[in-house]
Amino acid sequence: MADRKIETCFSPALYEPELHAGSIVIVIDILRASSAICTAFANGARSIIPVAGVDEAKEYKEKGYLVAAERDGFVLDFADFGNSPFNFTPERVEGKTIVYSTTNGTRIINLASSAYMIAIGSFLNIGALLIWIKKQEKDIMLFCAGWKNRFNLEDTVYAGAFAHNLLESGLYSTRCDSTLAAIDLWSLARHDLRGYIEKVAQRTRLKDKNLDDCIDFCLTPDFTDKIPVMKDGLLTCLA
Amino acid sequence: MADRKIETCFSPALYEPELHAGSIVIVIDILRASSAICTAFANGARSIIPVAGVDEAKEYKEKGYLVAAERDGFVLDFADFGNSPFNFTPERVEGKTIVYSTTNGTRIINLASSAYMIAIGSFLNIGALLIWIKKQEKDIMLFCAGWKNRFNLEDTVYAGAFAHNLLESGLYSTRCDSTLAAIDLWSLARHDLRGYIEKVAQRTRLKDKNLDDCIDFCLTPDFTDKIPVMKDGLLTCLA
């Protein structure tokens, strides 16, 4: 039965696209891109266009699109708002297509583009995503965005929570040390996730810029049942 | 007091040489290169020349050197023996300079060559290395060899054991998520290290080739007080 494989990748610098052509890739950037994307869809966004460059985001703005764009925590002057999930309110996003500028996120989506499918994972949609994933007869690659190519803890404990649940189903197995480590770290974090995340480097970075107000929200399980998936350069929700 | 920094790198693909010019880099390849190197010095080897390529190893053999060389677990036909620590017996290595062929290990040593110093770490010399490190007023980079650029658990729990001890001394601090994760994994592994290592991928790979007989030995703390360091392309022991 346990014939579907789980692998975990801790950094874009470690991703091996040729190994995952048949897999569903879950893109994980808990603080904050994947949480913001799930929030946008929860609040009624129609679709999201992830773009890498500032110039590209600006061109979309000039065409009349709603643009969310930050660099190093600062909202770009032409943008409508920044990358915190709290910016994606129903008033702003309902029925809209949003251009979301994210260097790392866009890079990961491009790296994973040869996979069978790309979905966006966060604690906010973890339950719904797990239910849907188990209905697909596919191997899973848990792709942690990390930070500037480095390993980070918040994406890893999410990968651990996800992998733990999949293994418990009996449908999956793993021989991947990264997955085993993520599950072990989740076993330490799960009883007090907010307390555990206190120590992570990204929390300090966000706090230094007064951008840490959304962290508790980003760790909230099952805020939404939306499952954002990537198709032809566009993020939309599964019906 | 805690002004020395600890960082951990999980894979050669993630190493950033420009950040560690002033650091001591501990090269970690528990199964089996760093354990074999420590064993060789414990058994009286005079020095070790790590070489990357098979051709280079062969040239040394033709010059009369003792050569340890494997590829994918198979001893190369011209070599004197393979890469298991058990091959480096006093009878074979005492007073000798050994050529050790290791693609990954040599690559890591080259990557780290701009650091202040490179030392080889394994469980076999962990106590002596910790005592010596604390006498140096330097930042520490724990450089895990991994496997084919991937994260591995055995190098990571060693990094965790090492970092945990350094932090306990009050002389060091860390803001590196990789180090925090390694320490947490060590906290799970330490009470039954051999049991914990049962699950790692490299153990299965070695077992499949009947090369797993050395694993228990490689997890033995303080077999030796030798500290191999790299200088001018040569590994020697600190006096």
Compare all CA atoms of chain B with the CA of A174 and give the residue at the minimum distance.
B201
Is B50 a member of any domain? yes
Task: Output the pLDDT for position A72.
Answer: 77
Which among A13, A151, A202 is the nearest to B181, CB-wise?
A151
Confidence class of residue B85 from pLDDT cuts 50, 70 and 90? very high
The Cα A45–Cα B197 span in angstroms is: 46
Of A234-238, B67-71, B215-219, the one with minimum mean pLDDT is B67-71
Tell me the residue length of chain A: 239
Q: Sort out which chain B residues have CB atoms less than 8 A from A14's CB and list them.
A: 11, 13-14, 149-151
Is B237 a member of any domain? no
| Chain mean position to CA B198 | 20
Host domain of residue B41: 4-231
Is B238 a member of any domain? no
Is B239 a member of any domain? no
Q: Residue B125 gets which letter from DSSP?
A: G
The Cα A120–Cα A108 span in angstroms is: 11
Under a CB-based contact definition with an 8 Å cutoff, are residues A201 and B175 in contact?
yes
- Consecutive sets of 10 residues in chain A, 239 residues long: mean pLDDT of each? 92 96 97 95 97 92 95 88 94 97 83 96 98 97 94 97 98 96 98 93 84 92 98 89
Tokens of B228: 């191999």
The Cα B94–Cα B98 span in angstroms is: 10
Q: Residue B186: helix, strand or coil by DSSP?
A: helix
Is B220 a member of any domain? yes
pLDDT > 70 in chain B, percent: 99
Is B177 a member of any domain? yes
Is A75 a member of any domain? yes
The residue whose two tokens read 């500028």 is A101
Is A187–B185 a contact, with Cβ atoms under 8 angstroms apart? no
B73: closest CA of chain A, how far (Å): 19
Which among A13, A149, A153 is the nearest to B181, CB-wise?
A153
* Domain at A96, CATH number: 3.90.1560.10
Give the torsion sign (CA, B185, B187, B192, B193): positive
Q: Tell me: the pLDDT tens digits for B189-211?
A: 999 999 999 988 888 888 888 88
Under a CB-based contact definition with an 8 Å cutoff, are residues A31 and A202 in contact?
yes
Per the prediction, chain B carries an average pLDDT of 94
Q: Sort out which chain B residues have CB atoms less than 8 A from A158's CB and list them.
A: none
Give the bridge partners for B4, in sequence order.
B172
Nearest-10 crossing angle of helices A177-189, B153-168: 40
Q: ipTM, 2 decimals?
A: 0.95
Say if residue B107's pLDDT is above 90.
no
My answer on whether omega of the bond before A107 falls inside 30° of 0, hence cis, is: no
Compare all CA atoms of chain A with the CA of B12 and give the residue at the minimum distance.
A14
**Which of B184, B187, B190, B199 should we substitute to test contact with A (largest number of A Cβ atoms within 10 Å)?**
B184
Is A226 a member of any domain? yes
A145: closest CA of chain B, how far (Å): 13
Total domains present in chain A: 1
Confidence class of residue B182 from pLDDT cuts 50, 70 and 90? very high
B12: closest CA of chain A, how far (Å): 10
